[in-house]
Structure formats: structure tokens, C-alpha cells
Amino acid sequence: MDFLITCKSNYEKILARESDGYQLKPSQQGQGWVLLKGDDKAAFTDLCFACHVLLSPLNVSAASVNALTEKLVNLFGQHVGSTRILGPWPFLFFSSTEGPLIQHAKTVEKYCFQKLQKKMSRVTKLAREGIPAGAKFAEGFFVYFTGFNQALVSFQALSQGQQRMTMDPQAPSRSYLKIEESFQVFGRAPRENEKVIDLGASPGGWSHSALKRGASVIAVDNGPLREPVKSHPRVHHLKADALKYRHEEALPVDWLLCDVLEKPEMILELLEKWFSHRWCRFFIVNLKVGRLDSVALLKSIRDKNKGLAPYCKELCIRQLYHDREEITLMGEVKPPSSS
């Protein structure tokens, strides 16, 4: 089987190396995408650097926008054939690169839908933009632009869930977007009355997100908190070193949030301490990988004997839309009896 996997621009080589560990063999790549051959559809839910996955993509090219539109509409018509579509179906016309190519994808999308409206009006009304996030491939119409008159078309796709979030003007920092996206991708967030420890909390974007959901927060950072977090009644600011922090009476907590600006190996050591003592149940941790070998780092985290994986009931590692040279670990620690 062939797969098109999209990623952040400039992460193609890393994605190809990561895929190699899952017996997925890269055959071609461009900015923000990699074509791979493999047998295991399930492998994709593990890939940290993958955003969207399109199954059996067809290469379509044409000399003009009109000709490309015509080809895409015909392909869709042939695919649907005599199938009677009764419910909503997803579609996405997109590209990994920012700017003109995305605009172009949206223009071609508009022309395609104008034509489809005339040919199959009822079916077109059931179209919903986006690829549903989840472990299963969704049936729909997915067009990924690799160039202005060149696209890869697929009728089955899955999304790892990364997405641009909306900024809250009250949030003390733009890091707020990262934690909001993490909660969305993980499918869980702190609830009312839950206890959260936020390591590396200053100026307070992550704490703000937990406080908004009704949780109480111990914010650990030598740096200052900004309003509205600073004087929030459910926040306690501890000016301390997060790596040494151990506030016995507060532990265990429901959530560990960690966005500490330190080397990944120091954070992983810290996590091993937290997980082995089961000081938290859920965790969201941002690792600043910079120019480190991320594939080797992922391998060590997932190592079934020495890594963090043995402590976890669930472990999801993703490069989020709002991550820069970073990756995010999300998961649940195993209860004491099963570790």
C-alpha cells in the first residue's frame, strides 16, 4: 500500500526516519510530505511527526486550474460511482506549505465544488470540511497540493488531530495555544476540582488553561506569573526549582503539566521520578528537542524496558501544530498495582 504522510515543513527527513522504524519505506518526499510504502495501517497512530495520512494517493496533474478541476471532479465522480451517499462525508483540499499554495488549494476547491454542485447537488450538501481525528481512516475526498498544478488525491484519510487553536486575549502567554491543542489531541483536560501541578509555569499560559476549566493549580517557577493567573484564588505560586520540587502534602495530583526550559534528558529523568512514584495520573509535557536527534529520543522514551513507556497506561507523543522545535508527551500513568 502507498501512503502520503504530511508533516511540518522541514521535518520530512525526520518523519521518513521515524517511519523506517515501523517498516514503512519512504519512496519520495517534498516540502511537508513523504510518500511511503508499507502494509500496516495501524503504525500511523504512533508516528510523532505525522499530521495527516492519505491512503493510496493518486497523482493528478494538469496544465491549468480548469483542467485540474475537471480531472478532480471526474475522479470523484468515478469513485462515488453508483454508491448512494446518505450521510455527511469529509473533504479537505490542502497543502503543508504556508501562503500561495494553500490559497491555490482553496481556489481549486471552490471550482470543484461549483462543478460538483451542478452534477450531484444532494451529495455536495453533505460535504463537511476537515479530516476527522482518530485511529481509523475516514472515507471522503482529500486533495493534497504538492505544486500549483499537481495534487495527490485520496478517498481515505486520517488525522492525528493537530490543529491551530484560537488565542484567548486574557491568556498570559502564547504557550496557552500549545496546552489547549494538547488537551484537544489527548482528548482529555483537567476538570473542576482536579489538582494540577504546572512546572515551568511562568508567565502562566498553561495554568490559565487549567484554571479556566475549574482546576486548582500549584505553579512552580522562579519567574513571575502575570494576571489574571497571578491573583487567581485557585492558584498557588511556588518560586522553586522544578527539577528539585517535591511538595509532599500536595502529592499525588491529577495532572502534571511541564513546560520547563531544560534539556530533554533532564526532563525525562524528572518524569521517571514522577511516574515511578505515581505522583500524577495524567501528564502533558513539552520537550524542547532543538537540534537533537528526535528519532533516537523517541526510541529511548518508547523503550519497553528502560524508557517511560513501561510506566504508562497511555502514551501519545506528537509534534503539535503549535510546537516549534518541540514535541509533546501526553498520557496516563499506570496505577501502582499494574506497574
Where does residue 152 fall: left (phi above 0), alpha (psi -120 to 50 degrees), or beta otherwise?
beta
The only residue of 26, 32, 190, 205 in contact with ligand SAM, by rule CB under 6 A: 205
Residue nearest to ligand SAM (CB): 205
Strand blocks (E) in the chain: 2-6, 25-30, 33-37, 52-55, 58-61, 89-94, 127-129, 138-147, 150-159, 195-199, 216-220, 235-238, 253-258, 280-288, 312-318, 326-333
When the beta carbons of 126 and 261 are compared against ligand SAM, the nearer one is 261
Catalytic residue among 71, 212, 230, 288: 288
The minimum distance between CB 212 and ligand SAM, in angstroms, equals 13
Q: Return the number of the residue (136 or 324) whose C-beta is nearest ligand SAM.
A: 324
String marking each residue 255-294 x if it binds ligand SAM according to CB under 6 A:
----xxxx--------------------------------
Tell me the per-residue interface mask from 162 to 201 with ligand SAM, x by CB under 6 A, - otherwise: ----------xx-xx-----------------------xx
Residue 141 or 274 with smaller CB distance to ligand SAM:
274
Dihedrals phi, psi of 61, to nearest 5 degrees? -135, 155
CA distance linking residue 161 with residue 181, whole number of Å: 9
Binding residues for ligand SAM, total number by CB under 6 A: 22
Q: x/- binding map, residues 88-117, to ligand SAM, per CB under 6 A?
A: ------------------------------
204, 237, 280, 297: which one contacts ligand SAM (CB under 6 A)?
204
**Cβ-contact 19, 59 below 8 angstroms:** no
Compare residues 261 and 296 and give the one whose CB is closer to ligand SAM: 261
Angle between helices 12-20 and 294-302 (to 10 degrees): 40
- Of residues 207 through 246, those in contact with ligand SAM by CB under 6 A are 220-223, 241-243
Contact indicator for 105, 94 with CB cutoff of 8 Å: yes
Q: Indicate the DSSP class of residue 45.
A: G
Q: How many CB atoms lie within 10 A of CB 40?
A: 11
Cα–Cα distances in angstroms (integers) from residue 144 to residues 39, 109, 156, 333, in the given order: 22, 11, 12, 37
Question: Is 212 a known active-site residue?
Answer: no
Nearest distance from C-beta of residue 202 to ligand SAM, angstroms: 4
Residue number, 57 or 172, with CB nearest to ligand SAM: 172
Q: How far is residue 309 from each of residues 50, 285, 319, 327, 334, measured CA to CA in Å? A: 20, 14, 18, 16, 10
- Does 202 contact ligand SAM by CB under 6 A? yes
Contact between 328 and ligand SAM per CB under 6 A: no
Least distance from C-beta 29 to ligand SAM, angstroms?
Answer: 31
Distance CA 94, CA 105 (A): 6
Closest distance between ligand SAM and the C-beta of residue 179, in Å?
A: 7
- The pair phi, psi for residue 75, each rounded to 5°, is -60, -45
In the bound state with ligand SAM, the residue whose beta carbon lies nearer, of 168 and 254, is 168
Query: Do the Cβ atoms of 224 and 203 come closer than 8 Å?
Result: yes
Identity of the residue numbered 219: A
Which residues are identified as catalytic?
A: 288
**Could you list the residues that contact ligand SAM (CB under 6 A)?**
172-173, 175-176, 200-206, 220-223, 241-243, 259-262
